Structure 1
Amino acid sequence: MDLDPDLAALRPLGGFFVLRTAGEVLRPLPTLAQAYGNPVPAGQADPLAFRVRKVADTLHAPELRIAASVAQQGLAARLWSVALGCAALYGHLPDLDPRLLRWDPDGSAPDDLWLTEVRPLPADPATLTDTVVHGHLEPLAAALNARHRIAAGLLWGNAGSALAGAARQFEQWARAHGRTDAAAHAHALTAQLFTHPLLVGTGTRTGTAFRRRSCCLYYRVPGGGVCGDCCFTRAPRSSPRAPSG
C-alpha cells in the first residue's frame, strides 16, 4: 500500500503512532534538526533545553538529567512508533529527515510532530536504522550528553526500551484487529533492528517483553517508582545514582 498524504492508517493506533502532516501546522515550530543543534546558534531559542525544563517542572524532577532522560525516551518512542507502524502497515517509510519534522517542545506527551512533506522510502531494516538511529537518536544523544553529561548506556537503553514498547503496542493492536501479517512483519523488523551494535546490548527481549540493562532514572522522580522493563525490581535506596550502562 502506498503512503497516503495524511498517513491515515496510523490514526487508529493512537497518539504515539500518529504523525501530523504539513497542512496541520498552525504556528511556526522548530524542526528536530534545530533541536539537535549543538551548539545552538547565537540568538536562537534552544527547543531541546526548553523541553527538558518543561519535563523537569512537570515531574518535579530533582535533577535536569532525569528530565533529559525522560524527554529523550518519549521522543524516541514517537519516532520508533511512526517508523515501525508505517513499515508494517504501508510497506514504506516516510522520509523522517530531522529537517522535515517540526516539533512542539511545549506540547504534552506524546510529543507533537508534524511532517512537512511525505516522501516514501523503502521500509527495510537498514533504512529504518539509518532514519531513526543515525538520523535522530545519535544527534539527540550527542546534544543531551553535551548539555547534561548523560551516559551513553542510559540513552541507548532508553532507545531500546522505546523500540520494544512501540513494537509491543503495535503487535497488540494488529492482533486485536486481525492483522496477524502486520504483527509478524513488525516483530521480524524489530528483531532485526535490535541486532544493531547500539541496540543489541540494551536489554533482553523475550517475545514482546523486554528487560533493559540500564535505568532511565525515573525512579528518582518523587513517587516515580521503577518502570516495567527496568533493570531494578524495586527502586534503590542507598545509591544516589542509578547505573547508566
Structure 2
Amino acid sequence: MDVCAALADVGEFGPFFAIGTNPAEQVDPTWRPMTDLYTDPEPLRARIAHVRRVLDGDERVAASIAFQGMAARVLSAPLAVVVLHGMLPAVTAGALHWRVSVTGPWPLWLADPRGEVLPDDLGEAADRLTALLVTEHLGPLVAAVRAQVPISERLLWGNAASSVAAAKRLIGSSRPAAAERAAQVAAGVLARGPFAGAGERRPAVGADVGWTFQRRSCCLYYKVPGGGTCADCVLNLRAARSRG
C-alpha cells in the first residue's frame, strides 16, 4: 500500500485523521504550508480569536483549545499510518498544507505524498514518529502559540500528549486487531522527548486497550461557560485524592 492509500484508509476514522493527497488541489492558492502557520503570526492569532469567540472564554483557554485541535490534526494520521501500515508518511512542515475553514478543524493536504517503510522494531518506529512530529510540527507550534499568548509550555505538551492517547484509543476501537500495536506505539511516543513527563499510563479503563492516560496538567476547558474536565484531567485525580 502506498502512502496515499494509507492516508485515505486512516482518514475514514474522522476529520482529525484526514489528510488529502489529491494532486488537483495544487491549483488552489488558499493552501499554505504549515511552515507559514508557525512563522506568520496572523493566521494563528485569528484562529485563537475565533476559538475565543466560539467558547466565550479567555485568551489562555482559547490558545489551549486551538493548540489542542491543531496538534490532534497533525499527529493523528501519522500515528495511525505507523500503527496500521508500518509506514511513516513524510508530513514535513513544508509538504503538509492547511487552509482556513470557518467551521470544524482546518483541512490538511499533503503536496508531495511520500513515505518510508519502518522497521518491525516498534521502539524505533516510535523514535522516528516522535522526531518527525516534534521537530516539524509540535515544537514550532508550541513556540508560535506561546509567542501569541502567555501560556504554560507544560500545559501545551500535556494537550499534545492527551491527543496521542485519544488517537490511540480511536484507532483501537476502529480496528480492534490493531489495538495492542496502537497502545505500544503510542506508549513509545509518550515516553520520548517533551511528551515524557506530561502524564502517566494507568491500568486500562473503558474502551482503552493496554493502558489509560492520566495527564499532569489541565487544558483549561473547565473555565469555559458550561465546560467541565476531560477524562484524563489532573483535576479529576486531585479531586479523587481529596475525597479519599
* 2:85 paired residue among 61, 73, 90: 90
In 1: Cα distance, 2:117 partner to 2:167 partner: 20
User: Matches of 1:122 and 1:195 in 2, distance apart?
Assistant: 22
* Residue type at the aligned position of 2:76: S
Give how far 1:16 is off. Answer: 1.5
Correspondence for 2:182:
186
Contact kept, 8 Å, 2:7 with 2:77, in 1: the verdict is no
1:3 aligns with 2:10: no
Which position in structure 2 is the counterpart of 1:242? none
Q: Which amino acid letter does the alignment assign opposite residue 72 of structure 2?
A: A
Give the aligned partner of residue 29 of structure 1: 31
Written as runs of structure 1 = structure 2, the 5 A alignment for 1:71-86 is 71-86=66-81
Paired position in structure 2 for 1:224: 227
TM-score by length of 2: 0.84
Query: What are structure 2's unaligned runs of at least 5 residues?
Result: 119-124, 240-244
Q: 1:4 to 1:20 in 2, by over 3 A?
A: closer
Matching residue's letter, 1:219: Y
| 1:56–1:21 Cα change, 3 Å | same
TM-score, normalized by length of structure 1? 0.84
Q: Which structure carries more helix by proportion?
A: 2
1:51 equivalenced with 2:47 (yes/no): yes
Matched, 1:204 2:200: yes
Q: Quote the Cα distance in structure 1 between the aligned partners of 2:110 and 2:22.
A: 6
Q: Tell me how far apart the structure 1 counterparts of residues 237 and 226 of structure 2 sit (CA, whole Å).
A: 12
Does the CA contact (< 8 Å) of 2:4 and 2:21 recur in 1? no
- Name the structure 2 match of 1:214: 217
Q: Residues 155 and 24 from structure 1, CA distance in 2 versus in 1: closer, same or farther, beyond 3 angstroms?
A: farther
In 1, Cα distance between the equivalents of 2:102 and 2:181?
A: 32
Tell me the matched-pair count: 224
Once the two structures are TM-superposed, the CA of residue 32 in structure 1 deviates from its matched residue by: 1.2
The corresponding residue for 2:122 is none
Pick one of 52, 56, 59 that aligns with 1:64. 59
| Distance in structure 2 (CA, Å) of the matches to 1:35 and 1:3 | 24
SS of the residue corresponding to residue 4 of structure 1 reads helix
Q: Displacement, 1:90?
A: 1.8
Specify every segment of 5 or more residues in structure 1 that has no aligned partner in the other structure, as ranges. Answer: 237-245
Cα–Cα, structure 1 residues 204 and 146, in superposed 2: closer, same or farther, change >3 Å? Answer: same
Asked whether the equivalents of residues 98 and 109 of structure 2 are also in contact (C-alpha less than 8 Å), the reply is yes
- Aligned-residue sequence identity (percent) comes to 37
Q: Tell me how large the CA RMSD over aligned residues is.
A: 2.2
Matched, 1:111 2:106: yes
